[in-house]
Structures are given as C-alpha cells and as structure tokens.
C-alpha cells in the first residue's frame, strides 16, 4: 500500500547515522538536559526565526505550558479552530479555559480575522490558531487584530515546520509558537514524542522551562506548580541531525503537491486554494475535497493507496467537551469540510512512480463507483 511504509524507508536510509548520533549523545555521560538538548534548542530557534526555544515532551504540552506561563486558565476564553488535531482544543480545556470556535474559510480550511472577530468577548485572552496542513495563516491580519484587542496571538505550528509568510518562518509571529515532533510531522522524532516552544520573550521561555521541570527554578526549589515534560538527549541529537534534511524534505513535499495540483483532473475532486502569493506552504498534508469522500477513499484503497481523513469529527463535536455545553456551536464550513476532506499520501520518502499512481487513481474515480 502506498503510504504505509514511508517510515521503514526513512529508517533504511537514515537509521545508521541516527543510531550513531544517539550513541554519541549517550556516551557523553550526560543523559538528561545536556549538550544535545541545548544544541537543538539553539538550532530550532534559529530555524524558526525566534530568539529562544525550549524543548519539551510533546506538542500538547508545549501549548499547555505556554498558556500556563501566560496565566491563561480558569474561565478565560481562547478563540481557536475546530478543524485541527484535538490536542489544540485539549490544551485549552486542560487549562480550565474555554475554547471558542471560529469557523474556517472553506478554501483554506483555516480561521481568519473575519471569523475570529465574531468570537471576541470581554473574556477573550488569546487566539490559538493553527497553520493547518502546513498552510501559513494570514499572520499579519491576525497579529494586528490581536494587538489592537490586547490579546495574545499563539501559533500552533505542529503541522507547519518550514512554512513561511513573506519569507519569514511561521512560529515567529505570535507571543509563542508550539511545535510537535511526533513521528508523522514534517520534522519527526524517531519512535517517540518530542515538542518545543519558540518565542522572542526570554522570561516566558524561562517560565516554561521551570514549569516543564516540576516548576523548579533551582534544583529542589519549587516556586511554580509544574509538570514533567522534557526533551531527552537521544531525541534532541536525532532531531538536530534530521533538521539538516528538513528543507530538502519540504521541497520534495512541494514538488509532489505541485504534481497533484497540475495533474489531478476530476470534476468530483476539489483542491484547496493554492498557497497565497508571498507564502510558502510546507505541505504537511495534501488535502482534497469530494462530496463522496468515503467512496473516493475506498477507490484509492482498491488501487493500493492508503489515505487518511484530517479530521472526521471536528473538535466542537467531540464528546470530551461534553460537560461544557456552552461551547456547542454550529460551524457549517468546518462540518462540511469534515464530511468531504481526504488527505492523499505525501511524504519525503514517496517516489515519483507512486505519485503517478495516486494521480491516475484520482483521475479514474467516478462518483458511481461501487
Ligand atoms: C500533532 C498535533 C498536535 C499535538 O502534538 P503532539 O506532539 O502529538 O502532542 C497539536 N496540534 C496540531 C495541529 C497537531 O497536528
């Protein structure tokens, strides 16, 4: 099946050097909070165009820690999207804050100032927006909106490693940005979780550093109620190494996306709008829309292609929100997208002949297929 063994191929190609570098990190004798983590934090901040970065356990923790450090919690409202991984919403509700869902633009699948503006109240503390599928948000508009309403702009960058707006990396526009290095992301850790925060605010990063380490500033001195969410030396050393390939991997993703855009020709299948001028889409996902999505998915499967739905149940309809009935709203664009979207295989280990097979299968799909 196309789309199921990309990790195996990645490891065949890069595994030896990753194991070697992990071994070197361990042989230094410092197994936690050592040189590899410091090096990765430095390199990641540089890549994201921010002054500081902090390695943490995963992307969910990165958002939660940042919210906590900003003092966003009980009863505070955070405007966000429901078309995202549930982790985005979970971070808000885990803090005791209330997610207020803005509807998406159906052509970009992202929220924008127009929909965000409708959600603003006196209790709004922040906008937590997602560069969904790797597509850069309208960062200037959203930043300006947040500034003029004295609320924080927070970027969930878990899907947008390497994306840019006007040549500037995403993740450098908000008060802080949260990153995930879950293995499936554009930059993924090997067989484990990892995450990071980026910011130009040193105090904020240092507060998150303490919070991620049981809330201690100095050893055994706990001034904050923190948690345990640290990046480890093994993953940090491997991430440093993989970061060296990231731009090349993204350009492979972009050429696959360009072929899909040029060669998929089927009136049943709608593509999302192309990247806006002056933006750089990193194509974490290549998503199409089809009114008979489930039939398209089975058709692809019969042609040996594995596709995924991002996301079948939007956050505002997830049962985990149940207790909070005041967040149950109708989001027509989001709900329609959830019913029609399908992510085609796209990965830095995908071969040209496989791209060809996907295109042919898309073009041979007929709505009345079994
Ligand atoms: C993956 C993802 C997360 C969560 O990251 P983890 O490292 O899995 O905790 C958060 N937000 C978005 C948009 C994601 O895609």
Confirm or reject: Cβ of 174 under 6 Å from ligand 1.
Answer: no
Q: What is the DSSP string of 268-314?
A: T-EEPPPPPTTEE---S-EEEE-TTHHHHHHHHHHTTB--B-S-SS-
pLDDT computed for residue 326 by the predictor: 57
Please write the tens of the pLDDT for every residue from 131-166: 999 999 999 999 999 999 999 999 999 999 999 999
pLDDT for position 328? 67
Q: What is the pLDDT of residue 191?
A: 85
Which ranges in 178-268 belong to alpha helices (H)?
Answer: 202-211, 233-263
For ligand 1, whether the C-beta of 87 sits within 6 Å is yes
Say how many Å lie between the CA of residue 30 and the centre of ligand 1. Answer: 29
In the block, residue with structure tokens 């996301």: 311
How many Å apart are CA 220 and CA 198, to the nearest integer?
A: 26
The string of DSSP codes covering 258-277 is HHHHHH---TT-EEPPPPPT
Which of 65, 85, 186, 308 maximizes ligand 1 atoms within 8 Å of its Cβ, making it the mutation to test the pocket? 85
Residue 99's DSSP bridge partners are 78
> Could you count the other beta carbons within 10 Å of the beta carbon of residue 74?
8
For ligand 1, whether the C-beta of 64 sits within 6 Å is no
Q: Which ligand 1 atom is the nearest neighbour of the CA of 195? A: 7
Q: How confident is the model at residue 370 (pLDDT cuts 50, 70, 90)?
A: low
Task: Kindly report the protein residue whose alpha carbon is nearest to atom 6 of ligand 1.
Answer: 59
Question: What's residue 329's pLDDT?
Answer: 83
Ligand 1 pocket: which of 156, 310, 315 to mutate (most atoms within 8 A of CB)? 156
**Shortest-distance atom of ligand 1 to CA 84:** 13
pLDDT at 267 exceeding the cut of 90: yes
Q: Is 188 in the pocket of ligand 1 (CB under 6 A)?
A: no
Residue 128 Cβ inside 6 Å of ligand 1? The answer reads: no
Does the structure show a pLDDT above 70 at 318?
A: yes
| pTM greater than 0.85 | yes
């Amino acid at each position: 099946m196309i789309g199921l063994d990309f990790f195996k191929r990645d490891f065949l190609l890069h595994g030896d050097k990753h194991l070697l570098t992990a071994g070197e990190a361990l042989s230094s004798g410092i197994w936690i909070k050592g040189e590899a983590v410091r090096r990765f934090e430095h390199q990641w901040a540089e890549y994201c165009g921010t002054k500081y970065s902090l390695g943490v356990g995963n992307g969910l923790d990165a958002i939660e820690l940042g919210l906590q450090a900003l003092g966003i919690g009980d009863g505070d409202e955070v405007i966000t999207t429901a078309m995202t991984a549930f982790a985005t919403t979970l971070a808000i509700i885990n803090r005791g804050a209330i997610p207020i869902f803005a509807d998406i633009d159906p052509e970009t699948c992202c929220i924008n100032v127009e929909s965000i503006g409708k959600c603003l109240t006196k209790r709004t503390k922040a906008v937590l927006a997602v560069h969904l599928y790797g597509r850069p948000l309208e960062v200037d508009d959203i930043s300006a909106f947040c500034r003029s309403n004295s609320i924080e702009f927070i970027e969930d960058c878990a899907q947008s490693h390497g994306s840019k707006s006007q040549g500037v990396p995403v993740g450098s526009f908000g008060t802080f940005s949260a990153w995930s290095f879950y293995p499936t992301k554009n930059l993924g850790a090997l067989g484990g979780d990892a995450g990071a925060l980026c910011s130009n605010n040193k105090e904020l990063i240092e507060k998150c550093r303490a919070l991620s380490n049981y809330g201690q500033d100095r050893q055994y001195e706990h001034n904050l109620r923190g948690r345990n969410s640290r990046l480890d030396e093994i993953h940090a050393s491997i991430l440093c190494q993989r970061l060296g390939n990231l731009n090349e991997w993204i350009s492979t993703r972009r050429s696959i996306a360009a072929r899909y855009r040029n060669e998929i020709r089927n009136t049943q299948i709608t593509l999302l709008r192309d990247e806006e001028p002056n933006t750089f889409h990193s194509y974490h996902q290549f998503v199409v829309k089809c009114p008979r999505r489930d039939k398209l998915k089975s058709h692809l499967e019969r042609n040996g292609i594995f596709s995924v739905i991002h996301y079948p149940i939007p956050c505002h309809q997830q049962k985990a929100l149940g207790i909070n009935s005041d967040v149950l709203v109708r989001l027509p664009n989001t709900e329609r997208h959830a019913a029609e979207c399908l992510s085609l295989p796209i990965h830095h280990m995908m071969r040209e002949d496989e791209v060809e097979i996907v295109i042919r299968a898309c073009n041979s799909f007929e709505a009345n297929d079994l």
